[in-house]
Amino acid sequence: NPQAIIFDLDGVITDTAHLHFLAWRQVAGEIGIAIDEAFNDSLKGISRGESLQRILRHGGKTGAFSPEACAQLAERKNGLYVHSLRQLTVNSVLPGIRELLMTLWEERIPVGLASVSLNAPAILQALDLSACFDFCANAALISRSKPDPEIFLAACSGLGVDPKQCIGIEDAQAGIDAINACGMLSVGIGTGLNGAGLQLPATEFLTWPCLSAFWQHDK
């Protein structure tokens, strides 16, 4: 068995990517930048501050705002986003995920979280999943967004496991690249991900028998 399984949050455990999009679209619109869902895909796994920089670049406004103004824009986005998180309930967990977490607990396989979202603990709590995670990497201690492996390495080190003996699960290209960069086995959820060791179309296909077979085949 793998020593641990490490999950991304947004797009793997719950679908908050759309809520991030709505909040950023509002803030970007207020400074005259239009963004669409396709552009939003490129923000998955990217920290709040770095997301803002990408939006400014997208709108041709790189350098147009002082660091203080940028901090205010990021804070405004987060206020809108946190407000929208109120709609999350225990029913907002993506299909199959709660069952998988229960099985991993029964199998005594440690579970970690590798999300660069500072809101991750509150989200897990809203979904009533906090107790399913043995360790959540603290995004506040991370200085580089995915595709840098830093957040996955922090999760492995917190769990006391060897990355090469772990599986990471992601829905974003930057996340798959981060997992592969630490020598973990990568599982991609969705389509169009390059370099995923195993690719599944949706979370409902993510089961322990499937992960276990993947592990035994590739190790």
Interacting residues toward Mg ion by CB under 5 A: 8, 10-11, 44, 171-172
Residue nearest to Mg ion (CB): 11
Report the partner that residue 129 touches, choosing among ligand G6P, Mg ion, none (CB closer than 5 to 8 A by kind): none
Token digits of residue 15: 């679908």
Whether the upstream peptide bond of residue 95 has omega within 30° of 0, thus cis, is no
Report, in Å, the least distance between residue 63 CB and Mg ion: 29
Residue 117 contact partner, candidates ligand G6P, Mg ion, none, CB within 5 to 8 A by sort of partner: ligand G6P
The label of the residue with tokens 């967004």 reads 145
Quote the CA–CA distance of 180 and 164 in Å, as a whole number.
10
**Closer to Mg ion by Cβ: residue 62 or 188:** 188
Nearest CA among 11, 13, 50, 54 for reference residue 139? 50
Please state the closest distance from residue 55 (CB atom) to Mg ion, in A: 18
Q: Which residues bind ligand G6P (CB under 6 A)?
A: 10, 20, 43-48, 51, 78, 115-119
- Residue 171 binds which entry of Mg ion, ligand G6P, none, CB below 5-8 Å type-dependent: Mg ion
Based on the residue annotation, tell me whether 8 is a catalytic residue of this protein. Answer: yes
Q: What torsion do the CA atoms of 167, 194, 47, 178 make, to the nearest 10 degrees? A: 40
Active site residue 36: no
Residue 32 Cβ, how far from Mg ion at the closest point, in Å? 28
Nearer to ligand G6P, 29 or 160 (CB): 29
Residue 28 or 109 having the CB closest to ligand G6P: 28
Task: Please identify which of the residues 8, 134, 148, 177 carries the catalytic annotation.
Answer: 8
The residue among 24 and 208 lying less far from ligand G6P, judged by its C-beta, is 24
- Cβ at position 54, least distance to ligand G6P in Å: 10
Helix (H) or strand (E) holding 166, with range, is strand 166-170
Phi, psi of 201 (to 5 degrees): -70, -25
b or e along 98-135 (b: 16 or more beta carbons within 10 Å of the residue's beta carbon)?
Answer: bebbeebeeeebbbbbbbbbebbbebbebbebeebbbb
d(CA 136, CA 80): 24
The distance of closest approach from Cβ of residue 158 to ligand G6P in the complex, given in angstroms and rounded to an integer, is: 18
Among all residues, which ones are annotated catalytic?
Answer: 8, 10
